[in-house]
Amino acid sequence: EAQVTQNPRYLITVTGKKLTVTCSQNMNHEYMSWYRQDPGLGLRQIYYSMNVEVTDKGDVPEGYKVSRKEKRNFPLILESPSPNQTSLYFCASSFTGTGDRGYTFGSGTRLTVV
């Protein structure tokens, strides 16, 4: 089944403890992206990647890192999480970044930083 898989689905962590949220897609998509969803603010893009080893900042990149060493994986790294990073995170992928055929989203990761 064609899908975007995120792990974990739920995570509670403490301030300052490094964490990684994994994202993997099996559709050979070139484009991958991370969004966060917050009440009243909708979905905002954190980082995106046009292809392997090509990443760029979205609207809200502060406090996050990403890497794209392989086409299928695009992990989101929080080096020193803070409570304002408590949010629902979505990974998305697409054949290209231009939007034809749409974006496929993962099921989400709900992160709580205490």
Partner 1 sequence: GEDVEQSLFLSVREGDSSVINCTYTDSSSTYLYWYKQEPGAGLQLLTYIFSNMDMKQDQRLTVLLNKKDKHLSLRIADTQTGDSAIYFCAEIPNQAGTALIFGKGTTLSVSS
Sites of contact with partner 1 (CB under 8 A) = 31, 33, 35, 40-43, 45, 48, 50, 56, 58-59, 90, 92, 97-100, 102-108
**Closer Cβ to partner 1, 31 or 64, answer by number:** 31
Q: How far is the CB of 16 from partner 1 (least distance, A)?
A: 28
Give whichever of 17 and 100 is closer to partner 1, judged by the CB atom: 100
**CA gap 29, 18 in Å, rounded:** 28
Cα distance between residue 86 and residue 14, in whole Å: 11
In terms of Cα–Cα distance, which of 55, 56, 60, 30 is closest to 43?
Answer: 60
